Amino acid sequence: MDLKPLDPQITLKLLEGREDIVTPLAQEREQFYGSQRCPRCSGNATSKTGNPHRLFVEGEALPRYQLRCDNCSCLFDPFSGIVLEMGNLGEAFEPTIPILGQSED
């Protein structure tokens, strides 16, 4: 499915005189995404990713993104809390046991 964006000049002309309800919703949604923590490693660094089959929900003006943890690559849905891909916890934490034989003497 190809999405063709409308010419910004035409968009502005069509929206002239109408109340902007999308910007506050978008700011609220960004705060929601920013407050999410990874359900596996509790990291708060996430990247938004979109599944075209679940991106748009009836009755909502904004798309719903899934979040991928930047630490362990876990993919989860912040709206339902469901973990979609487990990721790798080994990437998120440094080993607690020091690895021997790495000194450069």
- What residues contact residue 2 under an 8 Å CB cut-off, 6+ apart? none
Integer distance in angstroms from the first to the last C-alpha of the chain?
59
Is 73 in contact with 92 (CB distance < 8 Å)? Answer: no
Is residue 67 a contact point for Zn ion (CB under 5 A)? no
Our CB check for Zn ion shows the closer of 33 and 56 to be 33
Is residue 72 a contact point for Zn ion (CB under 5 A)? yes
Beta bridge partners of 66: 49
Is 46 in contact with 84 (CB distance < 8 Å)? Answer: no
Q: Which of residues 8-47 bind Zn ion (CB under 5 A)?
A: 38, 40-41, 43
Among 46, 67, 68, 69, binds Zn ion (CB under 5 A): 69
Is residue 74 a contact point for Zn ion (CB under 5 A)? yes
Q: Which stretch binds Zn ion (CB under 5 A): 16-24, 46-54, 74-82, 97-105?
A: 74-82
Our CB check for Zn ion shows the closer of 11 and 47 to be 47
